[in-house]
Amino acid sequence: MNNEYIQVIHSLLMKYEHKDDAVKMKKYMRNQFEFFGLRAPQRKELVKFLIKKYGMPPEEHFNEIVYELWELPERDYQSIALELMDRKIKHFKEKDVELLEYLIIHKSWWDTVDWIASKHIGAYFVQYPQNKKDITRKWIGSGNIWLQRTAIIFQLKYKKQTDEELLYSYINQCLGSEEFFIDKAIGWSLREYSKTNPQSVRNFVDKTPLSKLSKREALKVMKKNKCVFLKN
């Protein structure tokens, strides 16, 4: 841990450490990661204090610090890295997609991937829309379930700006995957888009051989709202 900024983060994590919660968190995450045991409010408090006292990482070292945080064993380091990324959202550089892709495919699990996809990737393509199709097409065809999941869910917060054709195309390309995280992503993306265009989602669900999980997730909001639809 050569970087002074990361040493400060380590010292703060040690102060917040809660071993009983760390055990529970490790179990919840299927024993894939170690933890210091910080809950989200504590982590946010830590990051707020960190930035207030030490500032954000210097721009010229920002990516280096994120990469190093990603290599450390405790999951709290990756979460803090993403908290710092949150504060950079409005200032992404075009090449930052390389960093984001790295974070998606290393130490991959739903907690970090969904955070990156819905917040960072979603914001990145708003700033650099010219890159959206080429990059996400590469991801959907990559065979990596986490890149595929990202390509399916990065538009979660787009609402009326959702590229419907792109979303449906990517879902169709992933049909029959029998991968839980893909089926769940399909249902999640459709459920969110149904809040904006329920008729379109209903039509898509009716004509598409979705898995039971995807279909159930896709229809949740519409069933709750008892939507009435036009016949195709």
pLDDT digits (tens, 9 = 90+) for 103-125: 999 999 999 999 999 999 999 99
Query: What is the phi-psi region of residue 218: left when phi exceeds 0, alpha when psi lies from -120 to 50, beta otherwise?
Result: alpha
Q: In this predicted structure, what is the pLDDT of residue 157?
A: 97
**Residue-averaged pLDDT of the chain:** 96
Domain map (residue ranges) of the chain = 1-87, 95-232
Task: Note the CATH number of domain 1-87.
Answer: 1.25.10.90
pTM (global) more than 0.85: yes
Say if CB 35 and CB 76 are below 8 A apart. Answer: yes
**How large is the average pLDDT for residues 46-73?**
96
**How large is the average pLDDT for residues 20-47?**
96
Say if CB 104 and CB 133 are below 8 A apart. Answer: no
Six token digits for residue 67? 């990469």
**How large is the average pLDDT for residues 199-218?**
97
pLDDT-derived band at 232, boundaries 50, 70, 90: low
pLDDT-derived band at 228, boundaries 50, 70, 90: confident
Question: In this prediction, what percent of the chain has a pLDDT beyond 90?
Answer: 94
What confidence tens digit (pLDDT) does each residue in 124-139 have?
Answer: 999 999 999 999 999 9
Q: In this predicted structure, what is the pLDDT of residue 231?
A: 67
Q: How many Cα atoms occupy the beta-carbon half-sphere of 219 within 13 Å?
A: 16
Query: What is the phi-psi region of residue 178: left when phi exceeds 0, alpha when psi lies from -120 to 50, beta otherwise?
Result: left
**How large is the average pLDDT for residues 190-219?**
97
What is d(CA 75, CA 11) in angstroms, rounded to the nearest whole number? 15
Does residue 2 register a pLDDT over 60? Answer: no
SS3 labels along the chain: CCCHHHHHHHHHHHHHCCHHHHHHHHHHCCCCCECCCCCHHHHHHHHHHHHHHHCCCCHHHHHHHHHHHHHCCEHHHHHHHHHHHHCCHHHCCCCHHHHHHHHHHCCCCHHHHHHHHHHHHHHHHHHCHHHHHHHHHHHHCCCCHHHHHHHHHCCCCCHHHCCHHHHHHHHHHCCCCCCHHHHHHHHHHHHHHHCCCHHHHHHHHHHCCCCHHHHHHHHHHHHHHCCCCCCC
What is d(CA 70, CA 140) in angstroms, rounded to the nearest whole number? 24
Largest CA distance in the chain: 63
Residue that the structure tokens 């984001």 belong to: 100
Q: In this predicted structure, what is the pLDDT of residue 229?
A: 78
Matching fold, domains 1-87 and 95-232? yes
Task: Note the CATH number of domain 95-232.
Answer: 1.25.10.90
